[in-house]
Amino acid sequence: MCGVVGIVSSTRCVQNIFEGLQRLEYRGYDSAGIATLFEGKIHIAKSEGKLKNLEPLLSKLPQNSGIGMGHTRWATHGAPTTLNAHPHVTDEIALIHNGIIENYRELKETLIREGVKFLSETDSEVVLHLLAKELSKGTAMLDALKGVVKQLHGAYGLGVMWKGDPNSLYIVKQGSPVVIGLGKTENYFASDALALLPLTQKIIFLNDGEIGKITASDVQVWDFSGKLLKRDPSILNWSASSADKAGFRHYMLKEIHEQPAVIANTISRLVNFGSSEINIGELGLNELDLQSVRNIIYVACGTAHYSAMIAKYCVEQMTGIPVSVELASEFRYRDPYLNQNTLVIAVTQSGETADTLACIKHAVSKGCQTYSVCNVRFSSIPRACQATLYMEAGPEVGVASTKAFTSMVLCHYLFGMAFAQEIAKGKSGNSDNNLNATDKKVASRVNFAANFEALKVLPSLVDRAINSSGLIEDVAVKYYESLNCLFLGRGPSFMVALEGALKLKEISYIHAEGYAGGELKHGPIALVDKHMPIVAIAPLDLHYEKMISNIEEVRAREGVIIGVGDINDSKLKSLSVDFIPCPQSQDSCLQTILSVVPMQFLSYFIAVKRGTDVDQPRNLAKSVTVE
């Protein structure tokens, strides 16, 4: 989605704005622009396509300017042309916008009737002209912005530069993320903190309904009624180097390789092997009333949704509490039955996904308890929830999620264990007041000792999964020209099939679908012929024999099996045209963390062979801040 960056500096700003935009590239965009203010004049450079098209135009901007704003646009209203690229300007004002103005048509028609000429097809330009109209009455900028926001419906993170106040930038937040960064001799704003990481780690996360003003030496924040607010910065714990490629060809490859360390860190942070306990404080469970929880609903999108589907298997089994999983974009528009005994859990890497955030707001309004599993500290979703389990996976820049998925699955597993642990202690419980009886019930469901053993060896198994990647490259070379691909799995491996198919289509643009093995005969088997590669995920779990039957069904129709399973599984090997070995966990939910690694590599190598843009695949955005 669109990215915004603004800087007010006592020295030069153009290069830093450009570099800030480069750090926002991962969000996905199709045009870009920068505006600066120098000696009473607004200067702009804009281009279609990627930042490499904008770079040569930067020399046309006044290099000594200390104030400016940049934008990467992910087209929503109007094609990705230079004319539609931001900043939008009048003689007096430059404006950048992330989000969607839902009532822009009505506003535009009124403005046109009043004689305003529009240069672009965007919804954003409406805001520019509304602001120009307010300012033309002699109104101060803060009051003008207060007047404009009253007229807007939708989501917006706005940056505004104005000749009338040449040493300040104004920022408005409603629905779309905007942060303010505090420097020593300069201040910044951006759509996320990652853009500012090398410049500062002191960040003020604006809330919806707030207006900010930055100069080189000062920051002020008001609410939409004009009340001045006291906002202290948070200090980010991400280092600047965590946002670079560290010698890898792509961010995605780097992030795949980071998984053993992320998994190991999460386990050491959340698990106390000495006392065989999960650190429930770190999980934020002390902030919930677990005692009253009678059902759990996960809401999420995309990869995060698949991770939550794995939570359904492990959390429900461990806690004995019914778990359902919903797509955030569906949940928010139906009228789900919710009450104060429902715990709604948002799963989100970015913490900014608009649909997931809307679900949480709805759940809060219905009196539910709310919790999130999230990677980005201080982002909007954790701030809207009662408690959060932070993944601490470090920035994920590749658009296709990798380490966030495995980290989410681990977090769900540990959440389930922690909840079960609390039930066993009698601190929560869905049904039983009798401690001993509850204790027994949990003990019959959860083999804590086995779970701790499985967790202990997990990081080294993930490491092994990563070290078999050479073989996968050979498989990719064989299949990279395929037009279609199916992925099959059963039990928790069904979600590995879904995630494998999503990864492949996202970055290689090959049509791919994931199915539960048992569903094959109910339709998809019609697609199987000798041209159809079928990735069969068949770990040695209780679904193994059934998967083998599904594989036989495919073979009987000449389908091409790429088996993924235990290195010593001679049966699977003999049934596969190609075989990818994968380490095995004793736990079928933790197995998904291992089995998904070959899926990540397979899609990565196929995409590289096809020459697609691995880190920023076409049409996709990392942080989906519009509906």
Tokens representing residue 91 in the block:
């003689």
Judged by CB under 6 A, the stretch of 259-267, 346-354, 476-484, 578-586 that binds ligand F6R is 346-354
Judged by CB under 6 A, the stretch of 42-50, 318-326, 345-353, 573-581 that binds ligand F6R is 345-353
User: How many residues make up the chain in this entry?
Assistant: 627
Q: Which is nearer to ligand F6R, 90 or 349 (CB)?
A: 349
Q: Which is nearer to ligand F6R, 219 or 297 (CB)?
A: 297
Q: Decide: 6 and 171 in contact? Cβ < 8 Å.
A: yes
Q: Is 329 in the site for ligand F6R (CB under 6 A)?
A: no
Q: Decide: 97 and 127 in contact? Cβ < 8 Å.
A: yes
Q: Is 359 in the site for ligand F6R (CB under 6 A)?
A: no
622 given a catalytic annotation: yes
Q: Is 302 in the site for ligand F6R (CB under 6 A)?
A: yes
Q: Which of residues 222-261 bind ligand F6R (CB under 6 A)?
A: none
Using CB under 6 A, pick the residue from 72, 187, 342, 356 that binds ligand F6R. Answer: 356
Q: What is the DSSP letter of 522?
A: G
Q: Is 615 in the site for ligand F6R (CB under 6 A)?
A: no
Tokens representing residue 419 in the block:
């909840």
Q: Which is nearer to ligand F6R, 148 or 602 (CB)?
A: 602
Residue 399 beta carbon to ligand F6R: minimum distance, rounded to whole angstroms: 6
Q: Which is nearer to ligand F6R, 381 or 536 (CB)?
A: 381
Q: Is 603 in the site for ligand F6R (CB under 6 A)?
A: no
Ordered alpha helix ranges (H), 211-291 = 251-257, 259-270
Residue 582 beta carbon to ligand F6R: minimum distance, rounded to whole angstroms: 20
Q: Which is nearer to ligand F6R, 66 or 500 (CB)?
A: 500
Q: Is 177 in the site for ligand F6R (CB under 6 A)?
A: no
Strand, helix or coil for residue 238 = coil
The residue of the chain with the least Cβ separation from ligand F6R equals 302
Q: Is 348 in the site for ligand F6R (CB under 6 A)?
A: yes
Q: Decide: 33 and 50 in contact? Cβ < 8 Å.
A: no
Q: Which of residues 493-552 bind ligand F6R (CB under 6 A)?
A: 502, 506
How far from 333 is each of 326, 359, 386, 402, 417, CA to CA, in Å?
A: 11, 9, 22, 29, 32
Angle of helix 259-270 relative to helix 448-467, nearest 10 degrees, comes to: 160
Strand, helix or coil for residue 555 = helix
Site mask, ligand F6R, residues 381-420, x = CB under 6 A? -------------------xx-------------------
Q: Decide: 157 and 173 in contact? Cβ < 8 Å.
A: yes
Q: Decide: 35 and 74 in contact? Cβ < 8 Å.
A: no
How far from 256 is each of 98, 124, 365, CA to CA, in Å?
A: 29, 37, 38
Q: Decide: 4 and 212 in contact? Cβ < 8 Å.
A: no
Q: Is 3 in the site for ligand F6R (CB under 6 A)?
A: no
Q: Is 368 in the site for ligand F6R (CB under 6 A)?
A: no
The amino acid that residue 326 corresponds to is E
Q: Is 98 in the site for ligand F6R (CB under 6 A)?
A: no
In DSSP notation, 314-338 reads HHHHHH---EEEEEHHHHTTS----
Residues 583 and 257: their CA atoms lie apart, in Å, by 16
Judged by CB under 6 A, the stretch of 47-55, 58-66, 176-184, 349-357 that binds ligand F6R is 349-357
Judged by CB under 6 A, the stretch of 11-19, 344-352, 430-438, 561-569 that binds ligand F6R is 344-352
State the residues that interact with ligand F6R by CB under 6 A.
301-304, 348-350, 353, 356, 400-401, 502, 506, 624
Catalytic residue ranges: 2, 622
